[in-house]
Amino acid sequence: MRVFCLYPVIRKKMAQLPEGPYIIVANHTSYLDIFLMYSILPKHPFLFLGKGEILNYPIIKTYFKGLNIPVHRTDRVKAAKSFIQAKKAVEEGWSIVIFPEGGIPDFDNPKMVPFKNGAFRLAKELKIPIIPITFTNHYQLFSDPTQVLGPARPGFSHVHIHPFLSKERINSLTEKDLSDVCFDIINEPILKENPQFKS
């Protein structure tokens, strides 16, 4: 899809990756974040832990159904089962991708919204590293499928793969502190390109 739709990937930062499995956390401004993740990390098998609503979009459902652990956020029992599935997947060697904003923000892309703690709770419980990733311009290339007049054009994907947080560092932080650290790491390139968000 990346080649067919003309989305070359430019890695603005490419830190060394740890041995898997690990948790990958990234900001979320476009469905390109999902499609291009496989080009960004082609040698590392992973699954997405994401909102079950994404399976309502026909094209995305076809692509994503077998590569996703859906989280039904309105049903606590189903949400708990999703975390159990994620833990089992990690035990089998899969890494897990989570967008801790919980979805694509409705306004002011690429301004980030506060993180939910699920990714960081999972990393602490499983004692595995975290890799933070920033996408700085996907919102300019492809929008939410429900936005009929939203952007959809070829272009260079700008990606920052930051240094990973080790198991030891994760263990030394609370869930909230870990969330804050990852938020600041991912947000840094966004603020450099969009200084108006600093206020």
Rounded mean pLDDT for each run of 10 residues along the chain, 199 residues in total:
72 92 96 88 89 62 68 76 91 95 88 95 96 95 66 86 97 97 98 91
pLDDT of res. 103: 87
pLDDT of res. 110: 94
**19 found inside a domain:** yes
**107 found inside a domain:** yes
Q: How far is CA 104 from the centre of its chain?
A: 11
**117 found inside a domain:** yes
Domain hosting 90: range is: 9-198
Instruction: Count the domains in the chain.
Output: 1
Q: Cα–Cα distance between 44 and 145 in angstroms, integer?
A: 28
Residue the block writes with tokens 């476009």? 30
**1 found inside a domain:** no
**158 found inside a domain:** yes
**57 found inside a domain:** yes
**63 found inside a domain:** yes
**29 found inside a domain:** yes
For the whole model, what pTM was predicted? Answer: 0.89
pLDDT of res. 52: 63
Q: Cα–Cα distance between 93 and 87 in angstroms, integer?
A: 10
Residue the block writes with tokens 């892309």? 109
Output the domain CATH number for residue 60. Answer: 3.40.1130.10
What DSSP string describes 101-159?
T-S--SSSTT---PPPSHHHHHHHHHT--EEEEEESSHHHHB--TT-TTS-B---PEEE
